[in-house]
Amino acid sequence: MATPPVGRYKIGPITEKDTVIEYAITPRNTVKSLQVGDAIQHLAPGSEDSSFLPDIREILPLIQDMPVYDDDVFIIAHAKTGTHWTWEIVNMLMKGSTDYEKMSKARRQLELHYPDEFTDMPRPRVFNSHLLLHHNPKQAIAKKCKVIVVQRNPKDTVVSLFYHMKASGSFDAETTFSEFLSAWLKLGEVGDWKNHFTVAENEEFDRIYNERMKDIKFTYKYTLKTVD
């Protein structure tokens, strides 16, 4: 896999046509994300001027139109759910060896590179992504490539994410876990998963939620959408 040219990655200017989500972790810390449809790219301070990440507005359609091989494998996982472990295990299984992969996981992460950078990657190729399944190459589904979806207990995920973001300087050292948890749970809207429940399933969900969350101080709201 070729090393990308210096300065190729850059997030372009944010305009009034773009959707930017801002949420306050504490009065001292505000996190910004750039949203394209239901794809989100978190913006680190000064990221617009850096060459660390490709622009999600540019890279997303390129990823979806990326040509793939029948033996490509795709690992889809939310951040801090075990992407790295799964990626190492899959590579070991594919190679029939317990040796760790020499190339870093980030060099095989779809949203961190332009598709042409994967052209000379040796097969079988194992990719990983924090994007949703429908953001990934359309050919992956059409060619019935192997797709591994990693899930983890949300409670464990948010703890790992808190310490990861704190270590990376996304917010200051005084930020408490309670502050982060409150912001994390309030971010965005409830996804379509609840809209696929039956009436009985929605009633059961509400009963369990109200029972187990009755002592939580913050208010969590969701809105059901009408599905034709």
Name the strand (E) or helix (H) holding 25.
Answer: strand 19-26
- Flag whether 51 is in a domain: yes
Predicted local distance difference test score (pLDDT) of residue 165: 84
pLDDT at 200: 81
Residue-level pLDDT at 145: 96
pLDDT at residue 40, rounded to an integer? 84
Co-location of 122 and 184 in the same domain:
no
- Whether residues 38 and 137 share a domain: the answer is yes
Task: Say yes or no: 61 and 146 in one domain.
Answer: yes
CATH of the domain at 128: 3.40.50.300
pLDDT digits (tens, 9 = 90+) for 153-166: 888 998 999 999 88
Radius of gyration of the chain (CA): 19
Identified catalytic residue from 130, 135, 164, 196: 130
Q: Is 130 a catalytic residue?
A: yes
56 and 38 fall within a common domain = yes
Contacts of residue 68, defined as CB under 8 A and 6 or more positions apart, other chains included, come to 137, 139, 140, 143, 145
Domain membership of residue 225 (yes or no) is: no
**pLDDT < 70 stretches in the chain:** 1-7, 27, 44-51, 186-197, 216-228
Range of the domain at 80: 19-150
Query: Which pTM does this prediction carry?
Result: 0.77
pLDDT confidence of residue 47: 60
Q: Are residues 72 and 135 in the same domain?
A: yes
On whether residue 11 sits in a domain, the answer given is no
Please identify, among 111, 129, 150, the residue that sits at the C-terminal boundary of a domain: 150
Residues 86 and 25 in one domain: yes
State residue 62's pLDDT score: 96
Residue-level pLDDT at 118: 94
Q: In what side-by-side order are the strands of the sheet with 39-43?
A: 19-26, 29-36, 39-43
Domain count, the chain: 2
| 100 plus 187 within the same structural domain | no
Distances in Å between the alpha carbon of 178 and those of 38, 43, 90? 26, 22, 35
